[in-house]
A and B are shown apart, each in its own frame.
Chain A
């Protein structure tokens, strides 16, 4: 294990920001700390960097305790949300900073700077002033600067959050590719699922200073350990269900959930895309009444009322995790999707079937 975090607690006065967190990151692995803002994930990252002192617990690198190692001797790279480039140095001066601190001679610095700028897609930018760069370019330079001195561990604090959406998606793909190619060990902090799932080998979901679940992205996405994790990951409603032979059965219908799901009672988490209007040839499903219709980019989002929903024991999203999740919330209503071409109108009766891609399976 490269990085090991054992029982780390960080307090600010009376406030416990991080509470007894255990975590490990393997050589070459990218781990994402995912959680809502204020959950303590950035504090944990800062503790690993050496910028905060843990009140309890220890942080080890290759087995060695880092408590006595100051920030500048840890050889961990850090990328902030907003770059924090040195405004008085040009692009090359920023990227070469860590190399200079480690006493790399000039020729070596120039070669490495060129190599890194090539890597982040900014070849030839050496003499540019950092204040003239766009937000995306600044972030690329910040990344090159952190990577230049071969950090043992790269720490990324919401590296893409300050960018606009299109740029963020593009840079996330580029960054994922870059981390894989260079085999960099990295710890990433983000509140954005897409960012975490694009970049990380494993995801650790954090809330209120504690780790709720650690696992591969698909696993965390499809099998949240608790309702809290499920809601943070976009589930707006949870219904009781039962699994048998890889098929889950609930009041809302049946769906395949994979052979690895253990038989027995369970709960089903519904994301905004969990229910869709059944096609012509499809059988089964439930009937519901359309309450509201909203056009989205790829599909039409419906708010539906399902008769007998309360009787089925559905707990729905009183604390929907974030704005990107569905609009369901009023008692007795659920989210559903319809194809753009044949979207029903409010008042229409529709037949809905479960879509396995919009489901998460929780323990009972």
Chain B
């Protein structure tokens, strides 16, 4: 059958010499890596460096940078920032573990619903979360540390539950069973067998949560009032209100150092986790809870119920006025607020603007994130160090003050052709910067988990390198790509820090509009802000629901 020689000796047209072929593949890879890195350099590193440079070179009178960095005030700021982040991270871990167990190990009804409900807080816009907790802590108008810690914890339960649960679902149950057979109690088996094997995921999750909490902006701004400030809000305050660039730059440097340390730790833990990925199929590790496990399930259910409190509270608040139930806040969205707070822009227009901006940002983040993921999944074999550095670099925008980035845009972007500062693309670019890391973290693990021999099988069947990518990689990561797009969209939708800086007054996004509404007096403004938050929440929930349906493997990290 295979021996009709005439067909076999196909002319070698278009064939490239091996060395040339390797170079071609290398070039394609370099291109895939260069594009996201180039974007990062121009729209992240440059603006941030410019702001830091301006601050350090500033010749104004006042305390030197060194004096600033060593002042007691700065360190109490750092202390509060780290302290609330540690507390919130601990809270998120404690609350997230039972939920992770429920999602990974228990065959109980409504598991899908739990997954959805837990994810919702993570993707809610920070301003919305701030507002939700403000309704719960209505009495303390001068700020509340407890509210800040609770809100930051609330945000990040999903990160712990999904990251740890993802690994837990793929961890072989038999090691645990063996420990039990050897006489370990359920708790002992958990602490001596399960917990150590989950450590990489727990470390990775803790690093990410710590990062989010220590740079959290919207939540602290809304809940801390004027009394409680973190590095992030202080940087905002100094740049925007005090025009103290030097102080802001010094604090930015401090924050950057902390972020890089946390990221490096997280990346290390993450690599260990990705290699341990193909342990068991998730379906094999799920079973009905027994005995004491029901207690953990009840605990998880309690956590989920608590997570719903602020959300329900917000919706209730948006519907209730001093005169009883009313849709007045929602109706007000058609206008521009009491005393024209939004400057002629209606709430509805802001919502439409949000949707459009987030769409542009998603397109950009997807292009960059997928390219970066492909590069990162193929690079390690050629240059592991570079791949590692690139991995950390891509995560940096998650942790650097969005305010710094926003302000950096204003001082650098006029150097780009056509004065980029006034371009309608400015906001999408800033939002894409924040969304891209999430895309990478969702797509990359799936790409890495594709067995290389599948690609080789395709190649022996006649598929060239690009065809292999289209026929094997793309279909297998297709759902992850969809999920990533959904996440990118909600993240862009809710982005507040940089957007509040860059959005033009006549084109605010919905979160920016909320920020403006609550900063001005007026009961109608307040009511309108709550309604806008409820609207954003509904939008986000809808997107998350779609993402959950598209999702198969629990390989992605968020």
Contacts and interface: CB of A to CB of B under 8 A. Distances in A.
Interface residues of A, number: 42
What are the 4 tightest A-B residue pairs by CB atom distance, in nearest-first order? A101-B462, A98-B461, A78-B460, A71-B459
B475 A88 contact: yes
A62 B459 contact: no
Nearest to B21: A70
A86 interface: yes
A360 to B, nearest CB: 35
Contact of B18 (A67, A145, A153, A185): A67
A293 interface: no
Given A68-B15, A70-B464, A72-B467, 9 more contacts: A72-B462, A73-B15, A77-B461, A78-B457, A84-B454, A84-B456, A97-B463, A102-B462, A145-B457
Dominant SS at the A interface?
loop
Contacts of B138: none
A146 B1 contact: no
A86 B17 contact: no
B9 A145 contact: no
Interface size class of B (residues with CB under 8 A): 20 to 34
Contacts of A49: 456, 460
B3 A27 contact: yes
Interface string B1-44: 11101001110100101100100000000000000000000000
Interface string A183-201: 1110000000000000000
A86 B460 CA distance: 13
Given A88-B476, A152-B2, A62 B460 contact: no
B461 A145 contact: yes
Contacts of B457: 78, 80, 84, 86, 145
A68 B8 contact: no
B60 interface: no
A151 interface: yes
A77 B460 CA distance: 6
B454 A150 contact: no
B2 A68 contact: no
Contacts of B458: 86, 97
A185 B2 contact: yes
A76 B1 contact: no
Interface string A284-322: 000000000000000000000000000000000000000
A86 B18 contact: no
A84 B17 contact: no
* Interface hub of A74, A97, A101 (most chain B Cβ within 10 A): A101
| Residue picked from B1, B5, B10, most chain A C-beta under 10 Å | B1
A187 to B, nearest CB: 13
| Residue picked from A76, A88, A146, A182, most chain B C-beta under 10 Å | A88
Contacts of A168: none
Contacts of B451: 84
A88 B471 CA distance: 10
Interface of A: 27-28, 49-51, 53, 62, 64, 67-78, 80, 84, 86-88, 97-98, 101-102, 145-146, 149-155, 182-185
5 contacts: A69-B12, A70-B459, A84-B454, A84-B456, A88-B475
A84 B453 contact: yes
A49 B461 CA distance: 11
A72 B15 contact: no
B472 A86 contact: yes
Most buried by A among B8, B17, B475: B8
A39 B475 CA distance: 36
A155 B18 CA distance: 22
B15 A146 contact: no
Contacts of B21: 70
From B10, B461, B475, residue with most partner A Cβ within 10 Å: B461
A150 B2 contact: yes
B12 A68 contact: yes
Nearest to A151: B2
**Interface residue SS majority, chain B:** helix
A197 B505 CA distance: 81
A92 B358 CA distance: 41
B381 to A, nearest CB: 12
B460 A71 contact: yes
Contact of A72 (B3, B8, B454, B464): B464
Contact of A62 (B9, B15, B468, B472): B9
Contact of B1 (A75, A87, A150, A155): A150
Interface in B458-510: 458-464, 467-468, 471-472, 475-476
A75 B462 contact: yes
B462 A152 contact: no
Given A84-B454, A88-B476, A72 B9 contact: no
A69 B3 CA distance: 18
Given A53-B18, A80-B453, A88-B475, A149 B461 contact: yes
Contacts of A78: 456-457, 460
Contacts of A88: 475-476
Contacts of B464: 70, 72
Contact of B454 (A27, A86, A185): A86
Interface in B129-185: none
Contacts of A153: 2
B12 A74 contact: no
Contacts of A154: 2
Given A67-B18, A101-B467, A184 B461 contact: no
Contacts of B461: 72, 77, 97-98, 101, 145-146, 149
B8 A152 contact: yes
Nearest to A89: B475
Contact of A183 (B3, B5, B462, B476): B3
Given A86-B454, A149-B462, A185 B3 contact: yes
Contacts of A64: 9
A127 B457 CA distance: 21
A69 B457 CA distance: 16
A81 to B, nearest CB: 9
Contacts of A102: 462
A155 B461 CA distance: 12
Contact of B471 (A68, A97, A146): A97
Contact of A69 (B15, B471, B476): B15
A183 B10 CA distance: 22
Contacts of A72: 459-464, 467-468
Contacts of A101: 461-463, 467
Nearest to B467: A101
Contacts of A50: 459-460
A23 B5 CA distance: 21
Interface in B26-73: none
B18 A62 contact: no
B39 to A, nearest CB: 31
Contact of B456 (A28, A71, A86, A145): A71
Nearest to B281: A131
Contacts of B9: 62, 64
Given A68-B17, A84-B451, A62 B5 contact: yes
B17 A62 contact: no
A183 B21 CA distance: 34
A342 B475 CA distance: 63
Contacts of A62: 5, 8-9
Contacts of B2: 150-154, 183-185
B453 A146 contact: no
A184 B18 contact: no
Interface in B235-266: none
Contacts of B3: 27-28, 152, 183, 185
A98 B461 CA distance: 5
Contacts of B8: 62, 75, 152
Contacts of B456: 49, 51, 71, 78, 84
Given A27-B3, A78-B456, A149-B462, A87 B476 contact: yes
